[in-house]
Amino acid sequence: MSWSADASQPAGPLDGIRVADFSRVLAGPFATMMLADFGADVIKIEHPLGDDTRAWVPPVDENGMGSYFASVNRNKRSVVCDLGTERGLAEARALALDADVLIENFRPGVMEQYGLDYGTLQAERPELVYCSITGFGRAGGAALPGYDLLVQAVGGLMSVTGSPDSEPSKVGVALVDVLTGQNAVIGILAALRARDQTGRGQRVDVNLLSSLLTGLVNQASSTLATGVAPQRLGNAHPSIAPYETFRTVDDPIAIAVGTDKQFSALAQVLGLPELSVDTRFGCNADRLAHRAVLKELLEARLATRPAAEWTTLLAAARVPAGKVNSIAEALELATELGLAPVVSVTDAAGSRVSQQIANPISLSDTPARYLRPPPLFGEHAGATFSHSQPPASALLKEDDS
């Protein structure tokens, strides 16, 4: 699917909402990109060296831009402000006071240093929704650095990730940042809805640790219920069996059996109907108790055919199963299913095209729009952002992130 930066696209549900985006790296930029996709006017306010991820290369995209930066910064305008100068600080402040939403992920205390904190700005613009993203909150964890790997470690996620005989492992993407960015979006939208009713903005606080603890769902609930720390199980599930990956002749496949009916169908497809009447595997609790021997029996049969054959047979029997795909194969699958996972975004001049992963939220009347590729550094300096405020065109200097 291709999109061009023109005015012919339907209005977005967030049209008219302006966001002053002081965030960088992942959680904040992910949140503001989601808002921008639905029509918010996001002004990315960068420091003189740019968002950290501009320098995280290689890899680069088709325009020579760092692919990390490009992944979370489409549909935005970039200006550069130097908070260390009087002019730069004045312009950043003007952008903040002209915005409906401000989002920042500096270390607690930095925005106060520049008079860009919630209390100062809210006194002049009561309708401002002010979102702060921190690693560990603004109280006892204010001094702790908010890095995704660190939070995965201290937040318990690594303790349940990896095989029983391996060291604790991180997830293969900065998942905590993504979860936190999603929570920021939810908080901002809730605050904007409340503002519709009261006319007043409010402070939205989200942090990486709390976002992770919420994201631990059943594992955290199990800990609360039993007082026992969940253990690493590799790809197996703590409460369901068989629910893990299995070897075949070639590629591994994932089988996710959630009901007795599915298990019976699995046994039939594998030519092992006796398993469905074996007392060791009669119900999920039994299968959990005999997980190791069950996996051995299943894998012995699965190892006789290629993954593609098994997944076709299992799908026909309505048993949840699939090959462990590469990311490229996953994109191919989504395309085959009609999900249109990739969009090509062209700038207004037609000179830059950026391949992007599509927004996952589908709205029937006001869908996501892709009007701008990720901005070049300071690309929109000198643009008019407000009828009442001067344009932002200077540079932001920030060494306190």
How close are the terminal C-alpha atoms of the chain, in Å?
37
> Which tokens belong to 323?
């090959």
The pLDDT value recorded for residue 25 is 95
Distance CA 378, CA 272 (A): 64
Considering the segment(s) 2-217+345-357 as one domain, its CATH architecture is 3-Layer(aba) Sandwich (3.40)
List of the chain residues with pLDDT < 50: 2-5, 387-401
SS3 308: helix
The pLDDT value recorded for residue 399 is 37
Domains of the chain by residue range: 2-217+345-357, 253-323
Distance CA 220, CA 207 (A): 17
What residues have CB less than 8 Å from 196, skipping those under 6 apart?
none
Beta bridge partners of 345: 3, 354
Indicate the pairing of strand 321-323 with strand 253-256: antiparallel
The pLDDT value recorded for residue 392 is 35
Q: Which of 80, 168, 119, 47 is nearest to 393 (CA)?
A: 80
What residues have CB less than 8 Å from 228, skipping those under 6 apart?
222
Distance CA 324, CA 319 (A): 16
DSSP symbols for 39-78: T-EEEEEE-TT--GGGG--SSB-TTS-BHHHHTT-TTEEE
Tokens 């970039």: give the residue: 78
The pLDDT value recorded for residue 387 is 36
> Which tokens belong to 368?
């996501």
The pLDDT value recorded for residue 386 is 55
The pLDDT value recorded for residue 366 is 94
The pLDDT value recorded for residue 4 is 47
Radius of gyration of the chain (CA): 25
Q: Which fold has domain 253-323?
A: formyl-coa transferase, domain 3 (3.30.1540)
The pLDDT value recorded for residue 3 is 46
- Local structure of residue 3 (DSSP, 8 states): E
The pLDDT value recorded for residue 383 is 67
Distance CA 62, CA 306 (A): 36
Distance CA 24, CA 46 (A): 8
> Which tokens belong to 176?
């905590």
pTM for the predicted model, two decimal places: 0.89
Active site residue ranges: 177
The pLDDT value recorded for residue 144 is 87
